[in-house]
Amino acid sequence: MGFLDVEDLKVYFPIKGGLFNRTLGNVKAVDGVSFSIEEGKTYGLVGESGSGKTTTGRAIIGLNDITAGKVSFEGKDLTSKKSKTSAVRKDIQMIFQDPYSSLNPRKRVLDIVAEPLRNYEKLSKQAEKQRVGELLEMVGLSPESILKYPHEFSGGQRQRIGVARTIALKPKLIIADEPVSALDVSVQAQVLNFMQDIQKELNLTYLFISHDLGVVKHMCDDIGIMYKGRYVEQGTKQDIFENPQHIYTKRLVAAIPDIDPKNREAQKQFREEVQREYEHSYNDYFDNDGLAYGLQSVSDTHLVALPEKG
Amino acid sequence: MWKFIVRRLVITFPQIILLSLLVFLMAEMMPGDALSGLLDPNIDPAAIEEQRIKLGLNDPWHIKYADWVAGLVQGDLGQSFKFKMPVTELIEQRLVNSFWLGVATLIFTYLIAIPLGITSGRYNDTWADQMITGYTYIGFATPLFIFALVVLWIFGFQLQWFPTSGSVEPGMVPGTFEYVLSKIQHLLLPSLSLALITTVNTVQYLRSEIIDTKQKDFIITARAKGASESRVYNRHILRNSLLPIAAFFGFEITGLIGGTVFVEQIFGYPGMGQLFLESVVGRDYSVVTSVVLLFGIASILGALISDIILSLVDPRIRIK
Amino acid sequence: METNNVNGQDQVQDTTKSPSGASIFWREITRDKMALISLIFLVLITAFVYGISLFLNKEEIVRVDLFSIHQAPSEEFWLGTDYGGRDVFGQLIIGTRNSLSIGILVTLMTGIIGIVYGLVSGYFGGQVDNMMMRILDFFLILPFLMVVIAFVAIVPTYSVWTFSLIMTAFLWMGIARLIRSKVLQEKELDYAQASKTLGSSNFKIMFLQVLPNVTSLIVVTMTLNLAANIGLESGLSFLGFGFPESTPSLGTLLSYATNPQTLEYRWWIWVPAAVLILLLMLAVRNVGEALKRAADARQRRG
């Protein structure tokens, strides 16, 4: 029994049409994804837009309906309808991508951060204010800003308010959906480091969703790479960055810019090599529909989507 | 394309059924029934009861409803107890009058809206535009019946340019030129006052549509290609702005129906609206329900036609 | 403290509390002379008619006095008398009060129904929304005036309350549709999604999270509806299907003008009421349009 186990998760969106709005087909946003996360670790989910990584995160927390598959958290099944409202949900929280739209513009910071507390804990007005103040301090904001509105804060500050709200219920798992991609680059590192600080402090587990391999390299212990709703490769940080097996991963890794001019030549060669391989052996990595194959083990920790041998 | 039309038709039927249920409910709520107006009060109550059973007036509601609908389908709207004649016959002449009033109003509505809307949109923020916007602003705030009263007072009574009631001069022979002329003269004042108020919506829509279109990239492209100003307007802007307006006439029907009630009452014009009010006051309920039903169906069909035309004109609607 | 560049400047001076919706509305109205005059006019006339009618003897005004039928304006009757010898000026005051009251009542009732209907339909979306919109479309398509008149005529116990209920039953659709389309957009925003993950119930999300974000739309729509409802009520009363004659409204006074004699020769009975309805509707609309500009940041004047 793992901490979070996702088994063969499928999320399909129906395509409606025709005379009576029948379902004509499905968009397979997530098509058979399996992974598990260990407690206290950060698991990175990487892919281009439309690859299904966000949908995976949203399905785990219950914002998208699961078509098939199983999600279990500390052994408890999250897939059934009943669990949507159960207390397990309290242990899983989410940080949203856009700090502008994820905070209700008509609510004061106090009301925003206190929202989860009001749902699960019955606190007196005074105690609630105290808790919100503590939470704000924890994320590095002054407790005086409790009566301000979200638009009075910068993007980075807003994301901190979002984090304060997320950790209010002392969750165990936090799904961070591109938490910094809407922020200025200068602020990104600040927020990331601070996320790592509170991870240690509160013993949090992150499911870190991002398209930015640089950020993922900085944050994550294990990484899964998604493409068109499927996994193409999964492994530890070393597996992915030092020994990428799938051509898609290789191309991603090759695209990471390197600031050190000494490596420029090597980088260029690596990139060209990958490009050649991509042109020659595309068919070895993708099936006729352009989708990835099933996962094969390369080592204990490393899985790659390759056609079955033989 | 045909998919949209079929789908739109599919939702029209429940609408008509709902309407018929509503009207039936109204009829049921009304005091008295088909017999109470017809019979001599001196007749033995037992005989009335027998007659009631024979006519099916004591049946449960769903059977009554089925009977009523069956009658409707055959064109039987019941009897007017006040005029002692079938409602269909009673309505016929009134319907013709209201029809012409509606047609005249629609013509005036577009005759006013199109030049005003185009001027206002093309030359926006000039004095002409400001005058027109001022007119629409006041037109929006003026209740139709007040406007109609004032028009009648000024043009009917003070200046005496137009007749103040009726649909035709009494004593005219139908079919003669004078008869038609007199009809038109009676139509002018009611339809103009109705059109002047209802047209403000269309004027405003057209204005904002043209101003919007003016700033679109394809218009700028047309200008950049060197098309003359009149060509830009006639070929590009108007084509895009006028078609939806033309399609709105179906939606206008719902508004027109409300308007005719006021206008016919004020100008003493013998149409459906006036008949409706007379019947409500005279408690001639079978006429009341028939008028509501007919006008309800007219609005439903009007909206249907408009939706279909709009979907032909504007492909975005079809995807909905 | 850094401020974000989206809505910068004006927050800097005011760090403890940001401008609330009400103060934005207020600023916009005071910037627009017509709207300000309209608002003052409305406040004055409301205070006047409600205040004065406390001291007026209502029975006295609606009592028929056959010795003073159709008198022209004079010292005793400022605006003359009607066919029952009743003081037109007194009726005008009571009528304005009644018209305003019912306009406000109907606006509030349609507002509440429309808001709840729109919120539920937009928030749940999908099949629920589909069904609810079909029903709404049906109501929208009915010939409003005729249906209302027919119901007014057949309702067994007719009072001001049943009248407003009937009006409400066929007038809630416009605001419901506006709210619904706004809610459809709002519920997709991350703050509503976030509320779900934080354990808030649908009910809480609808009324505590989404509703505050549609308030400006509600205020604007309800103000414009108020103008329309005053017009509708007076129209129905004009046709004889609004208030009973013992409770005069502005429309009742106008209905005397259906008599050609009155229309032609006794202007004092109907012209003041007509002018008053026009002014009321224009004033309410002016305020409503100013609010509309305030709600839409791009159109604000100040």
B9 in contact with chain A, both atoms CB, cutoff 8 A = no
B9 in contact with chain C, both atoms CB, cutoff 8 A = no
Mean pLDDT computed over A229-257:
85
Of residues B86 and C297, the one with the higher pLDDT is B86
Per the structure, the complete domain to which residue A245 belongs is given by 229-310
Mean pLDDT computed over A159-180:
90
List, for residues C86-119, the tens digit of each pLDDT value.
Answer: 777 888 888 888 889 999 999 999 999 999 999 9
**Contacting residues of A for B6, CB less than 8 Å apart:** 19
Q: Is residue B232 part of a domain?
A: yes
A189 and A133 within one domain: yes
- Asked if A18 lies within 8 A of B3 by C-beta distance, the reply is yes
Q: In which band, very low, low, confident or very high, does the pLDDT at A114 lie, cut at 50, 70 and 90?
A: very high
Task: Find, among A169, A69, A74, A152, the residue nearest to A115 by Cα.
Answer: A169
Query: CA of C176, closest CA in chain A: separation in Å?
Result: 21
Q: Is residue B47 part of a domain?
A: no
List, for residues B256-278, the tens digit of each pLDDT value.
Answer: 888 888 999 888 888 898 899 88
- Asked if B291 lies within 8 A of C146 by C-beta distance, the reply is yes
Question: Is the pLDDT confidence value at C302 over 60?
Answer: no
Q: Is residue C211 part of a domain?
A: yes
Of residues B284 and B277, the one with the higher pLDDT is B277
Phi–psi pair at A70, nearest 5 degrees = -140, 135
pLDDT at residue B29 in the model: 78
pLDDT at residue A309 in the model: 58
A250 and A155 within one domain: no
B6 in contact with chain A, both atoms CB, cutoff 8 A = yes
Q: What is the Cβ-side half-sphere exposure of residue A107, based on CA atoms within 13 angstroms?
A: 24
Amino acid letter, A260: D
Using the 8-state DSSP alphabet, how is residue C86 labeled?
-
Q: Is residue B119 part of a domain?
A: yes
Question: Is the pLDDT confidence value at A305 over 90?
Answer: no
Overall pTM > 0.90: no
Q: Which chains touch A (3 or more CB pairs under 8 A)?
A: B, C
Which is it for the CA torsion A23, A26, A27, A29, positive or negative? positive
Q: Is residue B131 part of a domain?
A: yes
pLDDT at residue C4 in the model: 41
Q: In which band, very low, low, confident or very high, does the pLDDT at B123 lie, cut at 50, 70 and 90?
A: confident
pLDDT at residue B35 in the model: 54
List, for residues A271-301, the tens digit of each pLDDT value.
Answer: 888 888 887 777 777 877 777 777 778 787 8
Structural tokens at position C43: 């406040």
Q: Is residue B21 part of a domain?
A: no
Least confident of A238-247, C225-234, C258-267: C258-267
**Contacting residues of A for B3, CB less than 8 Å apart:** 18-19
CATH number of C92's domain: 1.10.3720.10
CA triple B219-B205-B312, angle to 5 deg: 70
Buried b (16+ CB within 10 A) or exposed e, B96-127: ebbebbbebbbebbbebbbebbbbbbbebeee
What is the rounded distance in angstroms from the CA atom of residue A48 to the CA atom of residue C16?
41
Q: Is residue B217 part of a domain?
A: yes
Q: How many interface pairs between B and C have CB atoms less than 8 angstroms apart?
A: 111
**Contacting residues of C for A60, CB less than 8 Å apart:** none
Query: CA of C201, closest CA in chain A: separation in Å?
Result: 9
Least confident of C191-195, C218-222, C258-262: C258-262
A131 and A40 within one domain: yes
CATH number of A196's domain: 3.40.50.300
Q: Strand, coil or helix: what is A22?
A: strand
pLDDT at residue A205 in the model: 92
List, for residues B17-70, the tens digit of each pLDDT value.
Answer: 999 888 888 887 776 655 555 555 566 667 767 766 766 666 777 788 888 888
Number of domains in chain B: 1
What is the rounded distance in angstroms from the CA atom of residue B132 to the CA atom of residue B111?
14
Instruction: Tell me the average pLDDT of chain A.
Output: 85
Instruction: Tell me the average pLDDT of chain C.
Output: 82
pLDDT at residue C68 in the model: 65
What is the rounded distance in angstroms from the CA atom of residue C37 to the CA atom of residue C40?
5
Using the 8-state DSSP alphabet, how is residue A146 labeled?
G
pLDDT at residue C15 in the model: 40
Number of domains in chain A: 2
**Contacting residues of B for A19, CB less than 8 Å apart:** 3, 6-7, 10
Number of domains in chain C: 1
What is the rounded distance in angstroms from the CA atom of residue A298 to the CA atom of residue A34?
16
CATH number of B176's domain: 1.10.3720.10
User: Closest chain A residue to B7 measured between Cα atoms?
Assistant: A19
Q: Which chains touch C (3 or more CB pairs under 8 A)?
A: A, B
pLDDT at residue C104 in the model: 93
List, for residues A91-104, the tens digit of each pLDDT value.
Answer: 889 999 888 889 99
Per the structure, the complete domain to which residue C275 belongs is given by 22-295
Residue at which a domain ends, from A228, A259, A285:
A228
CA dihedral A279, A282, A284, A286 (to 10 degrees): 170
The DSSP bridge partners found for residue B85 are: B80
**Which residues numbered 275-314 in B keep a CB inside 8 Å of some CB on C?**
276-277, 280-281, 283, 285, 288-289, 291-292, 295-296, 298-300, 303
Task: Find, among A229, A242, A216, the residue nearest to A54 by Cα.
Answer: A229
**Contacting residues of C for A92, CB less than 8 Å apart:** 197
Are C144 and B258 in contact, with CB atoms under 8 Å apart?
yes
Task: Find, among A67, A109, A115, the residue nearest to A229 by Cα.
Answer: A67
Q: Which chains touch B (3 or more CB pairs under 8 A)?
A: A, C
Q: Is residue C8 part of a domain?
A: no
Q: What is the Cβ-side half-sphere exposure of residue C277, based on CA atoms within 13 angstroms?
A: 32
Instruction: Tell me the average pLDDT of chain B.
Output: 81
List, for residues C18-61, the tens digit of each pLDDT value.
Answer: 456 677 778 877 888 888 899 999 999 999 888 887 877 666 66
Per the structure, the complete domain to which residue B229 belongs is given by 95-285
Q: Is residue C250 part of a domain?
A: yes
- Asked if B289 lies within 8 A of C227 by C-beta distance, the reply is no
- Asked if A102 lies within 8 A of C194 by C-beta distance, the reply is yes
A192 and A72 within one domain: yes
Residue at which a domain ends, from A201, A228, A255:
A228
Q: In which band, very low, low, confident or very high, does the pLDDT at A136 lie, cut at 50, 70 and 90?
A: very high
Q: Which of A90, A98, A157 sits opposite C190 (nearest CB)?
A: A98
Are C251 and C234 in contact, with CB atoms under 8 Å apart?
yes
Question: Is the pLDDT confidence value at C3 over 50?
Answer: no
- Other Cβ atoms less than 10 A from the Cβ of B176: the count is 10
Q: In which band, very low, low, confident or very high, does the pLDDT at A20 lie, cut at 50, 70 and 90?
A: low
Structural tokens at position B235: 């070929």
